[in-house]
Structure 1
């Protein structure tokens, strides 16, 4: 169950981040509400997941997959450019998460 909560926290965070872009500086009401609700939900779900999982690796997973999700969403929804150096950066982020998990795992105990 903690992994389901983590996955939902990541989805909520990516949704909030993409809505932040769509809000155009909080000038659009709908996306602005999604930003506030999405981040609040993401933190709530992440906090619940952390009752059973280790904070370091879990935060690395949450932030890395959030970064990758925001990157992919920006490309798909806002036609943001994909450059080789950006793809390399995304790969480095994923590699960092793998190393974090090799070093400590995510479950308590």
Structure 2
């Protein structure tokens, strides 16, 4: 269940960060409220996840997947360019998260 909490936290953080762009510096109420709710939900579920998942492992997955998802949303929905170095860097981040999860002795209890 802790991995499910972490996935909810990641998705909520991605929603909050996407809304952050749309909030236009917190000048638009709807997106600003989405930022607040998204981050509140994200941190709540992260706090539940790290009851079982080691904090370093949870944060690596959170940050890595968040970066990739936000970049994909920027590319697909906001027309932002992703050049080869950006794509290569994101692949390395994903590879790093996979290495930690698959091969590290750091594991959930």
TM-score normalised according to structure 1 size: 0.93
What's the Cα RMSD here? 1.1
Q: Distance in 2 between matches of 1:33 and 1:96?
A: 33
Aligned-partner Cα distance in 2 for 1:87–1:47: 30
Q: Which runs of 5 or more structure 1 residues have no equivalent in the other structure?
A: none
SS of equivalent to 1:51: coil
| Deviation for aligned residue 1:105 | 3.8
Residue 86 of structure 2 is matched in structure 1 by 86
| 1:30 maps to 2:30 | yes
Q: For 2:105 and 2:53, locate their aligned partners in 1 and report how far apart those are by CA, in whole Å.
A: 11
Displacement after TM superposition at 1:85 (Å): 0.7
Residue correspondences, number: 108
3-state SS in 1 of match to 2:104: helix
Asked whether the equivalents of residues 2 and 49 of structure 1 are also in contact (C-alpha less than 8 Å), the reply is yes
Distance between the aligned counterparts of 2:56 and 2:43, measured in 1?
15
* Aligned twin of 1:3: 3
TM-score by length of 2: 0.93
Please name the residue that 2:107 is paired with.
106
Q: Which residue does 1:61 correspond to in 2?
A: 61
Structure 1: distance between partners of 2:107 and 2:73: 27
